[in-house]
Amino acid sequence: MVKVHIPTPLRRLTGDKAIVDVNGKSIREIIEALEKAFPGIKKRLCEEDGSIRKFINVYVGEEDIRFLDGIDTEVRQEDVNLVPAIAGG
């Protein structure tokens, strides 16, 4: 099981849970698993073509998947963090 951290505004889809456990060996599989458990979450996270929306940063452990293999990044023991792209100011 992989622990996925859900950003606050999306928690109404996860029954207010901040961290959820799902099965999956890659970010792609994890998103599918999230959608099964919490219908509607995928369309918030992904474009129609299945790619991750540009306003979402996905981290496997401490690493942004943009610097790894994108949506096909493998996930083993690490936590997955979904973080809205908000920084600086």
Partner 1 sequence: MSNKEESLGHVSHLECLNCGEKYTLQRLIKEQGSILVNICYDMCMGPLDVKYDYEGICSILTQEEISKRPDTFWKLKELLPANEINVASDRPFTPLVESKEIGKKLGIRLYFKLDCNNLPTSSFKDRPVALAFNRAIESGYDTVYVASTGNLAIATAFQAMECGFKIHAYVPNSLGKIKKDAIRKYLPHGTFNELDLSYDDCNILSMKECDAHNEASGKKHCFVPNNSFRPFYKEGSKTSGFEIAFQLQKKGISGEAHVFYPLGSGALFCSAYKGFNELGMLGLSNLKPRMWGIQPEQCSPIIDAIGKEDIVPVKNPKTIAKSIAIGKPGSGHQSLDVMAKSNGGGFKVSEKEILENNLDLYFSEGIFCQFVGGTVMAGIKKAVKEGKIKKGEVVVANITGTGKGRIEDDLLEISEEFGYKEKAEQLLKEVGAW
Is the CB of 37 or the CB of 56 nearer to partner 1? Answer: 56
| CB-count exposure of residue 82 (10 Å: 0-12, 13-18, 19+) | buried
Among 27, 75, 80, 81, which residue interacts with partner 1 (rule: CB under 8 A)?
81
For residue 78, which of 88, 87, 65, 89 has the smallest C-alpha distance? 65
* Least distance (Å) between residue 9 CB and partner 1: 3
Residues of this chain that bind partner 1 (CB under 8 A)? 5, 7-10, 12, 18, 44-45, 53-57, 59, 62, 64, 66-67, 81, 83-89
